[in-house]
Structure 1
């Protein structure tokens, strides 16, 4: 029995309990055949001392949504995903509201994946552009 989109998102967010994603209040909000979208509130918990979104929190959002997207498209009975490298170019500051991370695949190989992750704000302004490479490895050797 295949889960509906709503059921899948509930399950996805449930497995993020007691993780960094819960700490940063990252929530998976939408997905399709080739993308996954997550959001994170921008508040004092993810601010730099001067009151704007911390780049490290942005990178954590990007890695979370990108790794989760890779996880969606593999056989999780046999494989697990790990991040290999992340880059982030921060283009604009955000003080409040939400930021949204949309992960799309540039390469979806059997072993390695490359994702483009665009972070936008509530007004759809581009905040950061990130790239994440992941690897799928066997659960047992």
Structure 2
């Protein structure tokens, strides 16, 4: 699928893959890419939701084995930014790390409710976790 501005997506089932590792649903595509306000790499920056008070809540799916990679990635983010990551359940908007088919984030910025970051068991490291967290906090590829 190609938008009028040239932004391209690969459609897989009911999802759209943007830049190879950002998996969005149709509503997210319409919200993020169909605005004429400030754009950066095709994305309407005014529609990206950021984490309230710089706090990012997260949890791990059952059986997730790459926790240390995520902890190391979080340490990098906390050392270099004002973001603070809080592990636990019971938060309205949060990230769940799980082992999916590949490495990806399903949001650019904060998504209402649960959002996911997939880190494959065999093809992920701390750098991968840093990268995918970047999408979840609102960054895209340059």
Hey, which of these two has a bigger chunk of strand by percent?
1
The verdict on a shared fold, with TM-score over 0.5 as the criterion, is no
Normalised by the length of structure 2, the TM-score is 0.28
Normalised by the length of structure 1, the TM-score is 0.28
